[in-house]
Amino acid sequence: MRQHKAQKIIVLVLLLLIALPDPSKAGIPSDQVRQTADKVLLILQDPRLKAADKKKERRIQLRQVISARFDFSEMAKRSLGQHWQRGSAEEQGQFVQLFTDLLERSYANQIESFNGEKIVYGRESQDRDHAEVDTRVITNKGEGFSVNYKLYSAGREWKVYDVVIENISLVNNYRSQFNRVLTNSSFAEFLRKLQEKNFDATGKPERRTNGARS
């Protein structure tokens, strides 16, 4: 059951961005999430980008908008925890790119399949340069999932550095899976596995059959 919930993380993380929060509950962090949501929704609804031959252009635009709100570099660093220091500056940069690509592969199709799910915005809390925005996703089947955004202040912008769904942290989930590999592998070997796309959307290593990649 826990694994099933973990697999919903990527599906719901970006899905949340295409819903509008309740303005009466919106502080600066929530308001900035709403601004990102507006931009994502405009791209998805743009008739010029709905054609099959516009798929690449549509995804490029979505990536630009989402990357402006999500700090994938910070998420990547936190997902490695203590192992981050094991890599050279070059290897760290390579990991950030591979980690970002991993997330993009996971959410690309899901965000484009948005079908009017309802998002209810709840409590927003701030503690100096950190904030958390609590929400709940209601599916068309009436199922509900808590989705909480953790953000930090970067000048005038609030950046997402983790998402917690049903008490499962995206960053912590990846960290536990990456730690299992790095405990018995070199950093270079770990990067090779990522480059071969040998991880699924939740960070869990994929199984191989008869030496072939699944």
Kindly state whether residue 210 falls inside one of the protein's structural domains.
Answer: no
- Total-model pTM: 0.75
Q: Which domain holds residue 57?
A: 2-195
Kindly state whether residue 93 falls inside one of the protein's structural domains.
Answer: yes
Strand-strand pairing, 118-127 and 130-138: antiparallel
pLDDT tens digits, one per residue of 117-161: 777 778 899 998 999 988 888 887 888 888 889 999 998 899 999
Kindly state whether residue 157 falls inside one of the protein's structural domains.
Answer: yes
Task: Read off the CATH number of the domain in which 95 is found.
Answer: 3.10.450.710
Torsion of CA 141, 142, 146, 152, to 10 degrees: 70
Can you give the pLDDT at residue 161?
95
Kindly state whether residue 59 falls inside one of the protein's structural domains.
Answer: yes
State the total domains in the chain.
1
Cα 161 to Cα 113: distance, rounded to the nearest angstrom: 24
Kindly state whether residue 30 falls inside one of the protein's structural domains.
Answer: yes
Q: Which one, of 139, 114, 112, 134, lies nearest residue 124 by Cα? A: 134
Residue 70 confidence class, pLDDT cut points 50, 70, 90:
very high
Residue 88 and residue 95 in contact, taking contact as beta carbons nearer than 8 Å: no
Cα 214 to Cα 192: distance, rounded to the nearest angstrom: 16
Kindly state whether residue 66 falls inside one of the protein's structural domains.
Answer: yes
